[in-house]
């Protein structure tokens, strides 16, 4: 029988089909990927220079306003100025873009990327207008950011592998729902839901992809897309920027290894990853007083094997064509 599974954090429902599709039954990766845009002259304004050629440059003027927040009502609607910054992390020295596939950056290179993520995080959170710093990667997809910048002649897609850092004066909806879900669970059980999930996944084992000294990687019980996986630190901590040097070292090996396994299992699909972490706790301290106990930072990786359907977008109801248990097995074996 098919199964209807509930995500314990967001109370969202997922249908897991009785018979899982094999990786080879999905459309070829190229069918869903955007045609690569010319890597042209990008206006390099370097914000941070990392190790091994890793650089942070100024991004699009998207959500990158200066000045006051300017919160206003417009009839029944709310609006505000798009205060924030958009930065682009160039993950490899120029001319090394070929290193991205299939196994991703090597651990030394990815460590340099994580180091600049941390530096930028710590710097951006000093601004009390900034409520959230969102770090993400769109690999092989049409990212809306380059489209939004199309009119500006000299800014196209950056050369080589890159990820993005968006600092905003609002908390993204998905993160807000996670924060609320975690807080609610904590009020009820006085335990962190993510610590509970990590312990449960370790106990069950069938959805675990890898365990290292500091992290557990697993396919979530009720995923949003087939082959989705999460990486969570085993030590309870609400904020990525509080990760220890040993944790960063460990993660630098683990994430490229797992994206490499995913790529081998699925023929190099487009994917996203993002870091879910605590919002800026400097403004609105009272609202977040249990956050240190109830929230737990983590990374989510979502391969894009299918297009979103009306079920996903219209109902938030996901049809999962390869069970997370089978997905974990395919990726462990890849």
Binding site for Zn ion (CB under 5 A): 192, 194-195, 236, 276, 296
Choose between 7 and 97: whose C-beta lies nearer to Zn ion: 7
Choose between 55 and 276: whose C-beta lies nearer to Zn ion: 276
8 Å CB contact between 226 and 328: no
Cβ-Cβ contacts under 8 Å for 299 (sequence gap 6 or more): 230, 231, 232, 251, 255, 273, 274, 275, 276
What is the nearest approach in angstroms of Zn ion to the Cβ of residue 276? 3
What is the nearest approach in angstroms of Zn ion to the Cβ of residue 200? 12
Handedness of CA 110, 114, 120, 124 (dihedral sign): positive
Residue nearest Zn ion, Cβ-based:
192
What is the nearest approach in angstroms of Zn ion to the Cβ of residue 101? 25
Packing angle of the helix pair 245-266, 107-124 (nearest 10 deg): 120
Choose between 107 and 277: whose C-beta lies nearer to Zn ion: 277
What is the nearest approach in angstroms of Zn ion to the Cβ of residue 293? 8
The beta-strand segments (E) located in the chain are 3-6, 13-16, 46-49, 55-58, 72-74, 77-79, 84-90, 132-139, 162-168, 208-211, 215-218, 229-233, 270-276, 298-304, 318-320
8 Å CB contact between 104 and 140: no
Here the tokens at position 180 are 């609320």
Choose between 114 and 275: whose C-beta lies nearer to Zn ion: 275
Q: How do 13-16 and 208-211 pair as beta strands? A: unpaired
Choose between 50 and 220: whose C-beta lies nearer to Zn ion: 220
Choose between 103 and 195: whose C-beta lies nearer to Zn ion: 195
What is the nearest approach in angstroms of Zn ion to the Cβ of residue 232? 8
Q: How do 298-304 and 77-79 pair as beta strands? A: unpaired
What is the nearest approach in angstroms of Zn ion to the Cβ of residue 49? 30
């Amino acid at each position: 029988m098919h199964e209807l599974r509930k995500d314990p954090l967001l109370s969202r429902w997922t249908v897991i089909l009785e018979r899982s599709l094999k990786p080879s039954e999905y459309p070829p990766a190229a069918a869903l990927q955007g045609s690569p845009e010319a890597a042209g002259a990008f206006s390099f304004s370097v914000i941070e220079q990392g190790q091994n050629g890793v650089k942070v440059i100024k991004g699009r003027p998207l959500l990158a306003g200066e000045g006051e927040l300017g919160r206003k009502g417009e009839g029944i609607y709310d609006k505000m100025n798009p205060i924030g910054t958009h930065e682009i992390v160039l993950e490899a020295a120029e001319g090394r873009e070929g290193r991205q596939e299939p196994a991703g950056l090597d651990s030394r290179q990815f460590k340099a990327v994580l180091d600049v993520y941390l530096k930028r995080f710590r710097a951006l959170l000093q601004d009390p207008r900034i409520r959230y710093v969102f770090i993400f990667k769109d690999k092989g997809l049409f990212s809306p950011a380059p489209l939004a910048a199309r009119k500006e002649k000299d800014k196209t897609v950056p050369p080589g592998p890159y990820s993005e850092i968006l600092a905003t004066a609002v908390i993204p909806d998905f993160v807000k729902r996670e924060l609320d879900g975690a807080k609610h669970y904590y009020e009820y059980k006085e335990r962190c839901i993510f610590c509970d999930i990590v312990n449960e996944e370790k106990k069950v084992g069938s959805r675990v992809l890898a365990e290292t000294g500091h992290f557990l990687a697993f396919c979530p019980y009720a995923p949003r897309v087939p082959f989705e996986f999460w990486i969570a630190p085993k030590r309870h901590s609400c904020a990525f920027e509080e990760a220890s040097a040993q944790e960063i070292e460990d993660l630098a090996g683990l994430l490229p290894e797992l994206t490499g396994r995913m790529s081998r299992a699925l023929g190099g699909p487009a994917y996203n990853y993002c870091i879910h972490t605590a919002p800026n706790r400097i403004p609105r301290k009272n609202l977040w007083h249990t956050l240190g106990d109830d929230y737990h930072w983590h990374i989510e990786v979502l391969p894009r094997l299918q297009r979103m359907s009306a079920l996903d977008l219209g109902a938030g109801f996901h049809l999962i064509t390869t069970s997370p248990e089978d997905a974990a097995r395919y990726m462990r074996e890849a």
